[in-house]
Chains A and B, each alone.
Chain A
């Protein structure tokens, strides 16, 4: 029983962490171009100009 006292808060905290990560990803526009992102991982040549853009 006493295990619940700290297990439940930990579970909720971890869940909340996931939610926060999702909201952060959403806010930074990572869901804006799902098709493009799939292709971008295949790019291997570092382009000088767009590296800092």
Chain B
């Protein structure tokens, strides 16, 4: 198996050297590549395309690497053929924020080296321990120690670099993190062992130093692998959001381009139902624009030439042309960017639990070491012996258990979140999530699906509904689609009306049985009547239908709540959290949602800076806020909250600033992530208690000079094991948010 696996990349390498000019390569992300069979059929389907040199799928990251001839096949062809097979694919690209090239592989190399060294030194150490009671001569012992040194020194010098470098950086900045005591312990253990080896005594700790390094590196690798996995998933989601746009060149020809290749000043054609790919100014045409993702407003806005349109909004009614503008030109983006920087500065001040522990732990331990040294000098021991004692204090208190306490739990928590479809993005996100006491929701797209539903269907005669649906079928307006949806769901057959006329912002009309039918707002259905009366209610969430001189039928709409919203809100309330809705939508709509979920605290028609100001006010009152939102208008608030969540359908900028991204159509992940965060903190604190207890027992022994290498090895590995096992409890324990 390994042969066939390696043959592929090496052969590809040789090929690419000679055919670099002929072949292009691309990475595609495929959303629904779920198993080996998918992988196989994706590869086969791409390979069957002429012009494709090779395609190799990677199931772990859900991507395909394709080498192809750009003259005979384009990326768009590749995506299309995958589309015909039912695979949702997009060209993969990395964000500017992406970390350097695969740090994982480098770390894994160090893990391998440390593991090799640890195993071999342990072999030698065990022989020495076993031989101590029998016939091993001291010269053999010294030989074994020298051999250990020979393996340990280069291994530590190479594998320990991540810790040493980080400790050095932190010390230079005048701070303390866990890496400082770790580096100090490893360097001291090695240095002293070398000294003792030269002297030919028994106080040799190479095994302890290297094993510690191996454990810590493994922990760090697992942690980074989870982060990498989350990062990959997030990148795939973002890549899938990228799209193709039709650009009109100066000579009038149309060209298909990837949205991120569009340059400022280019003219982009956006047809009905398409997402607007760039920020820009409307040049020609009028249309309805769904700005849900930007403002949280559920009703579309009608746009006329010279209006500014934002990327991510959806063009609902007519084909329009826009002129692409730089992101910086747009005041909304600039404003949101400014607010986000402001908000992130505040969050940057958060100090992780482990580092808080290090701040107390490192000075205490170093002080104890110095104290032990002084005491033994005063007691009359030689300086060499006193130094040996001091160093053994530092080694025995070596932060093995302490350094594993949080990362071990974090790794288990992140993998549990990942299994439930949640992507943990920030390394300290879970710690902050455990602190929160207030949850602030955006409405549209978060509490609700953002899709309206017809609520008075029981009062509408089926015949009228059918006629309205005939008109609605041709429209992209969310209300029209809601009518079609409900008409289909109760089994009505819809024949599209012929020659419909849709006027953006007003309504639709058509002929039916010799009579004019109109569906739209109050003014629209009265447009050809002599009399005008005021609408029966505020009319915002209502459409009216009239056929000929017949009766006017109202269609009342409501934003649909997520299926488990009531349940989730109930649980959150019972667990003692304060709840609030902050929405950019109309006040009446927000009031209705708040009433249905019985949330007393709500604010509607909030602009991004108003949302931000409200959160700031709450925060200055001491509230720890969890912000949950999906729109561009929520981005500053997401960054301002103590912690933040976003659904995977959220705007790109939200996914960047959220701590956790959850997938799916439900709100249930909120409960789960909070429960996991609480459990994570509980286990982390337990682990600290275990580590502290261990130190309380071992430090007096070390100060008294009673610690032999064997005692040290047993005590240190036992404490690490207990801490790791305790962390593993999180992977299967039952979660409960309410006590």
Contact = CB atoms under 8 A, between A and B. Distances in A.
Contacts of B6: 28-30
A46 to B, nearest CB: 10
A40 B140 CA distance: 50
B142 to A, nearest CB: 13
Given A38-B36, A39-B39, A32 B58 contact: yes
Contacts of B48: 49
Interface stretch (B105-113, B289-297, B454-462): B105-113
B116 A39 contact: no
A41 B668 CA distance: 38
Interface string B1-28: 1101110111110010000000000000
A33 B119 contact: no
B56 A39 contact: no
Interface string B135-153: 0000010000001000100
A13 B27 CA distance: 41
B120 A47 contact: no
A34 B35 CA distance: 12
A39 B35 contact: yes
7 contacts: A8-B147, A26-B112, A28-B6, A33-B58, A39-B39, A39-B59, A50-B8
B426 interface: no
B33 to A, nearest CB: 9
Contacts of B10: 28
A23 B109 contact: yes
Contact of A35 (B37, B56, B59): B59
Interface of B: 1-2, 4-6, 8-12, 15, 35-37, 39-40, 43-44, 47-48, 53-61, 67, 105, 108-109, 112-113, 116, 119-120, 123, 140, 147, 151
A38 B5 CA distance: 11
Given A25-B2, A37-B1, A53-B12, 13 more contacts: A15-B120, A23-B109, A26-B112, A30-B2, A31-B108, A33-B58, A33-B59, A36-B36, A38-B36, A40-B39, A41-B1, A43-B36, A50-B43
A53 B109 CA distance: 27
Contacts of A23: 109, 112
Interface residues of A, number: 34
Contact of B44 (A37, A40, A47): A47
With most chain A CB atoms within 10 A of its CB, the pick from B10, B56, B58 is B58
A19 interface: yes
Contacts of A18: 116
A39 B123 CA distance: 37
B120 A53 contact: no
Contacts of A12: 120, 151
Contacts of B4: 40
Contacts of B40: 39, 43
Contacts of B55: 50, 53
Given A31-B108, A33-B58, A19 B116 contact: yes
Nearest to A9: B147
A1 B140 contact: yes
With most chain A CB atoms within 10 A of its CB, the pick from B5, B9, B54, B61 is B5
Contacts of B35: 39
Contacts of A38: 36
A33 B109 CA distance: 17
B61 A33 contact: yes
A30 B5 contact: yes
Contacts of B8: 50, 53
Given A32-B60, A36-B39, A38-B36, A52 B116 contact: no
B58 A53 contact: no
Contacts of B61: 33
The 3 closest A-B pairs by CB, nearest first: A39-B36, A53-B54, A36-B59
Contacts of B67: 53
Contacts of A33: 58-61
A37 B39 contact: no
A52 to B, nearest CB: 6
A47 B9 CA distance: 16
B675 to A, nearest CB: 28
Contacts of B108: 26, 31
Given A30-B6, A36-B57, A42-B36, A11 B123 contact: yes
A2 B283 CA distance: 91
A4 B576 CA distance: 68
Contact of A11 (B54, B56, B60, B120): B120
A53 B53 contact: yes
A52 B53 CA distance: 10
Contacts of B15: 53
A22 B112 CA distance: 7
B582 to A, nearest CB: 41
B13 to A, nearest CB: 10
Contact of A36 (B53, B58, B151): B58
Contacts of A26: 105, 108-109, 112
Given A11-B123, A18-B116, A19-B112, A34 B147 contact: no
B36 A53 contact: no
Contacts of A49: 47-48, 54
A36 to B, nearest CB: 3
Contacts of A37: 1, 5
